[in-house]
Amino acid sequence: SYILTQPPSVSLAPGQTARIACGGNKIGTKSVHWYQQKPGQAPVLVVYDDTDRPSGIPERFSGSNSGNTATLTISRVEAGDEADYYCQVWDRSSDPPYVFGTGTKVTVL
Amino acid sequence: QVQLQESGPGLLKPSETLSLTCTVSGVSASSGRYYWTWIRQPPGKGLEWIGYVYYGGSTNYNPSLKSRVTISLDTSKNQFSLKLNSVTAADTAVYYCATARMWSNSYYFDYWGQGILVTVSS
């Protein structure tokens, strides 16, 4: 099965830029989606198809994908951005085809 | 606006069958736009895709659970359901129903239920 690896945690001060990596073999050839999950809540889609944002998601959230790493960038981090973040891909040649990353806890100091 | 709501027992004993229902509102469950999906998350851990049912009745399951899981669709009630047989403590998790949507030759999950905690304990 396809494996997506994320750093366990990222800590930063308000106003800084968070960059959350998602590593996978040739992930640049796949579409990557990102979810934000706050404690006790369901995940929320924040970026889909590498770079697109659903309506209602602030422009501070952006994504990129190339080579073996996809990245979710959160600019001007706020206290309300503190959450777990998961990347996800669909890989037709993998079983299961829907794969989530290991998750990254973003802490705003 | 699509809304999803999970329901079912929150406590099971080992070897019992987990049965959950997801009630859909805002869209018809017979719509071909979505794959009706179950995802779970053990306490303190990451997300695991369980499987989906599509409006024609076709299904796809995670191979790690395939021998124990059934997902079905009831369009008359606008609901879809999850059954997981022979549960153990390892099946303790928050279970989410969600919609998988195809986009640009990929799929993502755009709507989620609030989740239901199912605990397996003797």
Chain A residues near residue B48 by CB distance under 8 angstroms = 100
Q: B117: nearest CA in chain A?
A: A40
List pLDDT tens digits, range B98-111: 999 998 889 999 99
* Residue A43, pLDDT score: 98
List pLDDT tens digits, range A39-82: 999 999 999 999 999 999 999 999 999 999 999 999 999 999 99
Half-sphere exposure of A85 (CA within 13 A, CB side): 29
The residues with which A36 forms a beta bridge, in sequence order, are A44, A85
* Residue A2, pLDDT score: 93
Per CB distance under 8 Å, which residues of A are interface residues toward B? 30-31, 33, 35, 41-45, 48-49, 54, 86, 88-90, 95-103
* Residue B105, pLDDT score: 85
Whole-number mean pLDDT of chain A?
97
Give how far the C-alpha of residue A100 lies from the chain's centroid of Cα atoms, to the nearest Å. 10
Q: Tens place of pLDDT for every residue, chain B, 122 residues?
A: 899 999 999 999 999 999 999 999 999 999 889 999 999 999 999 999 999 999 888 999 999 999 999 999 999 999 999 999 999 999 999 999 999 999 888 999 999 999 999 999 99
- Give backbone dihedrals phi and psi of A19, rounded to 5 degrees, phi first: -125, 115
Tell me the residue type at B34.
Y
